[in-house]
Amino acid sequence: MDVVEMVRMVVGIFLVIYGLGVSAYQEFHDVKYVDQHNGVINGIFCIVAGILCCATTIQRGVIIGVIAIPLWGLEQIIIDKIKASNRHINKIEK
């Protein structure tokens, strides 16, 4: 692995992690696509850009994709459960 591939891998992993964070923020705070604070940066686009950046070969791209997409799905499930429990708590307080 040469230096360029290592830099692409590091940048790609950063983009995937950043995309997961932005996606979680957007989902938790119900940010619409037009109301995003970072312009048109969407968490899914960052994740896909990170996967493409890491994909120096098709095999690496598939591996990173197989890792990143289930993480995003798991994140969505966890956030939905948190939001559901918050709705339940808010109903009890009222």
Q: Tokens for 93? A: 């307080």
What is the DSSP secondary structure assignment for residue 39, as one 8-state letter? T
Average pLDDT by stretches of 10, the chain with 94 residues: 89 92 83 61 85 90 91 91 79 60
pLDDT of residue 34: 60
pLDDT of residue 94: 56
pLDDT of residue 51: 92
CA distances from 39 to 8, 35, 67 (A): 24, 8, 27
What is the DSSP secondary structure assignment for residue 42, as one 8-state letter? -
What is the DSSP secondary structure assignment for residue 35, as one 8-state letter? G
Q: How far apart are CA 89 and CA 87, in angstroms?
A: 5
pTM of the model: 0.79
